[in-house]
A = this chain, B = another copy of it.
Amino acid sequence: MKLYTYWRSQAAFRVRIALRLKGQTPEKITLDLLKGDQFDPAYRALNAEAVVPTLIDGEGSPLVQSLAILEYLDETYPDPPLLPSDPRGRAHARALAQITAMDAHPFIVPRVRKYLQERFDFGNDAVDEWVRHWLDAASHTVEELLARDPRTGRFCVGNEPTVADICLVAHLASCKLFGAREASAYNTAGRIYETCMALEAFAAEHPLRQPDAPKI
């Protein structure tokens, strides 16, 4: 198994956590998205969107799109499950995941920041404000949902980690890296973040612990 990854990518972080939870240890191939490694034709043959992550699992076509990869891993390596067993619980876990992954993360990726800078003359401060606005909005919504839903347990849905926790942790890690409000600002989401980060599968795959992360 091979994973194409970038240290700061929230989408790659999700997949790294899922792989660890499933006991898989892929070879990591790092791309520098700020340098444009993703536009290399050899990579674009694997990933037409020129984004990370891409997962190669044996023969067959490359796997792309982080949430599709999480579902694939859950179907192919079912133990431990990344979703609750009942359809409504599964829908809740997926919806929580999608609030951060679909309604915040798309706004903060390199191609979007670059487009705002190059086409609409956004300066660094405006880009930062843009990024933090969407990160904070999603954190706020997820906190509200977690705080009021009786299904919230040690983790987002019950007492085992699901795709909701994977996406929440990746989101809150981005919040810190981009200067948005951090996990500690949110009672429930912050508690769940800490619960997750006490697990090696989450902690060991943190962006700052990746081989291509900047040395601080």
Contacts of A88 in B (CB 8 A): 60-61, 63, 72
Chain B residues near A60: list those with CB within 8 A: 88
Chain B residues lying within 8 Å of A72, measured Cβ to Cβ, are 87-88, 90-91, 94
**Residue numbers in B under 8 Å from A129 (CB-CB):** 119
A199 to chain B, nearest CB (A): 24
**A30 contacts chain B at the CB level, 8 A cutoff:** no
Question: Mask for A55-77, Cβ within 8 A of B = 1, else 0?
Answer: 00000110111011101100110
Is B149 a contact of A103 with CB atoms below 8 Å? no
Q: Do A144 and B91 form a contact, CB below 8 Å, given A68-B98, A115-B133?
A: no
**With contact pairs A68-B98, A106-B102, A120-B120 given, residues A49 and B91 touching in the complex (Cβ less than 8 Å):** no
Question: Contact: A48 with B98, CB < 8 Å?
Answer: no
User: Cβ of B107 and Cβ of A90 under 8 Å apart?
Assistant: no
Question: Do A95 and B63 have beta carbons less than 8 Å apart?
Answer: yes
Mark contacts of A93-107 with chain B using CB atoms, 8 A cut-off: 1 yes-contact digit, 0 otherwise: 011011101110011
A145 part of interface (Cβ distance < 8 Å): yes
Q: How far is the CB of A158 from chain B (nearest CB, A)?
A: 14
Q: How far is the CA of A99 from the CA of B91 in the complex (A)?
A: 20
Q: For A1, what are the chain B residues with a Cβ–Cβ distance below 8 Å?
A: none
Does any Cβ of B come within 8 Å of A92's Cβ? yes
Asked if residues A67 and B87 are in contact (CB atoms below 8 Å), the reply is: no
Tell whether A213 is near chain B: CB-to-CB under 8 Å.
no
5 more A-B residue pairs beyond the given contacts A63-B91, A72-B90, A120-B120, with a C-beta to C-beta distance below 8 A: A48-B144, A68-B94, A75-B87, A119-B129, A119-B133
